[in-house]
Amino acid sequence: QIPSGLREASLETVVPRGGSERVMVVLGEHRGQVGRILEREPERGRALVRLGREEPRVLPLPYDAICHYLGGDDD
């Protein structure tokens, strides 16, 4: 939810800089899923992200589609 008085266009997601950092997908068909960054591709503006535990998938996702995730392991 966006706080009152802010426009969505004014917000920017934060992509973690450290290795193997947890992220949440905030746009697209995988929205709401949590994963880990495996590799960054800054020249392409995207990261390779592993999603899922039981049947993990590795997807190239644009930086705008992911954000740093600070939730618990069960989230």
Encode pLDDT of 32-59 as tens digits: 999 999 999 989 999 999 998 888 899 9
Confirm if 50 and 33 have CB atoms less than 8 A apart: no
What percent of the chain has pLDDT above 70?
Answer: 71
Residue type, position 1, single letter: Q
Does residue 75 surpass a pLDDT of 50? no
Confirm if 65 and 49 have CB atoms less than 8 A apart: no
> How does the average pLDDT of the chain come out, rounded?
81
In the three-class reduction of DSSP (H, G, I as helix; E, B as strand; rest coil), residue 57 is classed as strand
pTM as predicted? 0.73
Confidence at 71, pLDDT banded by 50, 70, 90: confident
pLDDT score of 5: 67
Beta bridge partners of 39: 48
